[in-house]
Amino acid sequence: MMPAHVDTLILGGGTAGCALAGLIAERSSDSILLLEAGPDYGPLRDGRWPRELLDARRLPVSHDWGYDSGPFLPGRRVAYERARVIAGCSAHNGCSAVWGTQWDYDGWADSGNPGWSAGEVQPLLQAIDRRLKVRRYADSEIPPYQRAVFEAARAAGFAASADMNDLTEDEAVAYCPVNNQRGIRWNTAFAYLDAARGRRGLTIQGGALIVRLLIERGRVAGAEAIIDGVATIVRARRTILTAGAYGSPAILLRSGIGDPDALEPLGIPVEHALPGVGRNLQDHPAIAVAFPGSPALEEISAAFERGNWTPEELVIVKARSRHAAESFDIHLFSEGGRVADGSDAWRWQIYAAGLLPRSRGEVRLASRDPAASPLIDHRHLSDAGGADLAVLADGVEIVGRIAAQPSLKSLLGAPIAAPIGGGRRELEAWIRSQVVHYWHPVGTCAMGADPKAGAVVDARGRLHGLADGYVADASIMPRIPRANTNIPTVLVAERIASWLT
């Protein structure tokens, strides 16, 4: 039976929420209630998890919130995939287990967030790798296309990385470290929650749509949720939002916490003015350069596929644009294999992604309805100086340089659409028309010391101006790290758990 009052209420059973619930259950005697909007399939050993969520080769969308770009990209609509299931995006992502750089975490600390420097978080990153069973691919697991991309990057001048997660490493190419085991995507429910299931005091409730926080006399007293169609109130000694970079600000806004100018037109009473809620949205802008594959590439790939487990993504190149300062600011990553639509078609792509975007977007409410998707405006490439566009253009040109190396040139044709080798203006126009995201939204409840400057929480995840309320997910990152954000999101949960317990 679901409790009506608990010590710790966690709203969102995603990447961070599962880690946080498991850690608090391990380290304390708290009564804990974890609410998740999607289904909870229980521990891995019970065998109830859908096959597509376990298969680390693919990026499934069977458990998706259905978010997209809405009206903000005229002429096209881009999906913003977020998983609606226990373990969240760690249950459907590419398993890239990447940390970033020391400058990312030192930058967080230097911006008014003590406790987040690289030296302080590195032991936690190492612990996360152990929990998530992070490993390196064996040589026998590397498909021909990915091997050719790696060799081409070496020929183009990129050193082979000794350790992709060396926080001081600059430009390099590597086969990405991953959190999959025997083909199973090792998500945070398996890594943190399964061992805690069955412990007295821990309750996990799926199918719980969060409506709002309860605000009483200057404190967060719990939350209202819709569970099996019934409005339900849960009270708590402390309440922690872990609904992600889109979900956490939306819940705060529905609760009357945010910019009054955004709340009042929707008829939402202002409980606490906090203008930074929903702002500072960041993701890595990305662009895919697609190539036709030769018959020889398809033949050797099909032969490899018959005898091997074949992941789509393996290689990451860390590269510098002309705007780079202390370290790399571009990821190039290769994607290759059969299209996951039941056909026999093949797809060969190399993406370029800008890792230090200057542009900032926003998450707003379309209505008070908790079932309605928020309005998500990433505003990619909108920075006044045009640096984000220039970085991506540099990235595409590096893709062209890599694709021209002998190991790839013999396997791929000319780019299908990207005007590589033409004028810079033509290239930038194409990028503007095709830019997407790298599946890494962060920053919409940013941590910092000053709420007047846009901070929503302090360095320990505590909501500014409200007692007993916390946010502990990717939304609190003040600046996006130079990394796939799965591991940094788990880091947020680990760091805040260390202060809560």
SS (H, E, C) 220-241: EEEEEEEECCEEEEEEEEEEEE
Q: What is the CATH number of the domain that holds 418?
A: 3.30.410.40
CATH number for the domain harbouring residue 129: 3.50.50.60
Q: Are residues 217 and 327 in the same domain?
A: no
**DSSP bridge pairs for 83:** 64
Confidence label for 150 from pLDDT (cuts 50, 70 and 90): very high
Residue 374 belongs to some domain of the structure: no
Number of domains in the chain: 2
Do 257 and 222 share a structural domain? yes
Residues 472 and 424 both lie in one domain: no
Using CA atoms, how far apart are residues 113 and 108, in angstroms rounded to an integer?
A: 6
Domain boundary among the residues 405, 421, 438 is at: 438
Q: Which pLDDT band, with edges at 50, 70 and 90, does 218 fall under?
A: very high
Model confidence at 436, pLDDT cuts 50, 70, 90, reads very high
Contact predicate 413/384, CB 8 Å: no
- What does the pLDDT average to over 344-362? 96
| Phi, psi values for residue 334, rounded to 5° | -100, 145
Choose among 190, 155, 161, 158: nearest CA to 175: 161
Per the annotation, binding residues for substrate are 438
Which residues on neighbouring strands pair with residue 331, listed in sequence order? 318, 353
- Identify whether residues 128 and 141 lie together within a single domain: no
Same domain, 240 and 142: no
Same domain for 298 and 203: no
Both structure tokens of 450 = 């000053």
The whole-number pLDDT of residue 313 equals: 82
What pLDDT score does 338 carry? 86
Per DSSP, 459 falls in state T
SS3 content of the chain, % helix, strand, coil (to 5): 30, 25, 45
Once rounded to an integer, what is the mean pLDDT over residues 171-186? 96
Q: Can you tell me whether residue 255 is helix, strand or coil?
A: coil
The number of beta carbons lying within 10 Å of the beta carbon of residue 452 is 9
3-class secondary structure for 405-418? CHHHHCCECCCCCC
Indicate whether 269 and 142 sit together in one domain. Answer: no
Question: What 8-state DSSP symbol labels residue 442?
Answer: B
As a whole number of angstroms, the distance between CA 489 and CA 1 comes to 30
In the predicted model, what is the mean pLDDT of the chain? 97
The answer to whether residue 186 is domain-embedded is yes
Domain boundary (423, 438, 453) is at: 438
CB distance 79 to 40 below 8 Å: no
Q: Is the pLDDT assigned to residue 451 strictly greater than 90?
A: yes
What DSSP designation does 76 have?
Answer: -
Q: Does the residue 397 lie in any domain?
A: yes
Burial of residue 155 (number of CB atoms within 10 Å: 0-12, 13-18, 19+): middle
Strand, coil or helix: 284? coil
Residue 361 structure tokens = 């977007």
Is residue 354 domain-shared with residue 251, that is, in the same domain? no
The model carries a pTM of: 0.97
Please give the pLDDT value at position 315: 96
Do residue 406 and residue 483 come from a single domain?
Answer: no
> 432 and 319, same structural domain?
yes
In this prediction, residue 160 carries a pLDDT of 98
CA torsion, ordered 62, 68, 70, 75, to nearest 10 deg = -90
pLDDT value at 340 more than 80: no
**Residue 393 β-bridge partners:** none
Structural domain for 9, as ranges: 1-135+181-283+441-501
pLDDT beyond 90 at 175 = yes
- With residue 481 as reference, give the H or E element that holds it: none
3-state class (DSSP) for residue 59? coil
Which residue stretches of 156-280 are H helix? 188, 244-254, 260-263
pLDDT in tens, 281-318: 999 999 999 999 999 999 999 999 898 877 778 999 99
Predicted local distance difference test score (pLDDT) of residue 374? 98
Write out the binding residues for FAD: 85, 439-440
pLDDT at 174 over 80: yes
Decide if 331 is inside a domain.
yes
Average pLDDT over residues 186-213: 97
Query: What pLDDT is attached to residue 135?
Result: 96
Both tokens assigned to 405: 């190396």
Handedness of CA 194, 196, 198, 201 (dihedral sign): negative
Query: Could you tell me if residue 170 is inside a domain?
Result: yes
Q: Is 1 exposed, middle or buried (0-12, 13-18, 19+ CB in 10 A)?
A: exposed
Main-chain dihedrals φ then ψ at residue 208, nearest 5 degrees:
-115, 105
Going by pLDDT thresholds of 50, 70 and 90, the confidence category of residue 58 is confident
Query: End-to-end distance of the chain based on CA atoms, in angstroms?
Result: 26
Task: Please indicate whether residue 58 or residue 501 has the higher confidence score (pLDDT).
Answer: 501
Residue 421 pLDDT more than 90? Answer: no
Minimum mean pLDDT range among 154-163, 317-326, 337-346, 434-443: 337-346
| Residue count of the chain | 501
Looking at the fold, whether 299 and 404 belong to one and the same domain comes out as yes
Same domain, yes or no: 173 and 71: no
- The pLDDT confidence band at residue 422, using thresholds 50, 70 and 90, is confident
Q: Is 91 inside any structural domain?
A: yes
Q: Rounded CA gap, 303 and 310, in Å?
A: 11
Distance CA 363, CA 455 (A): 15
Beta strands per DSSP E along 259-389: 272-273, 279-281, 285-291, 313-319, 330-338, 346-354, 361-364, 375-377
Q: Are 398 and 330 in contact (CB under 8 A)?
A: yes
- For residue 342, pLDDT over 80 is answered with no
Quick one: which of 270, 275, 313 has its CA closest to 175? 313
pLDDT of residue 29: 96
In a domain, 375, yes or no: no
Residues that constitute the known binding site: 85, 438-440
Looking at the domain assignment, is residue 279 inside a domain?
yes
Closest CA to 20 of 464, 458, 444, 461: 461
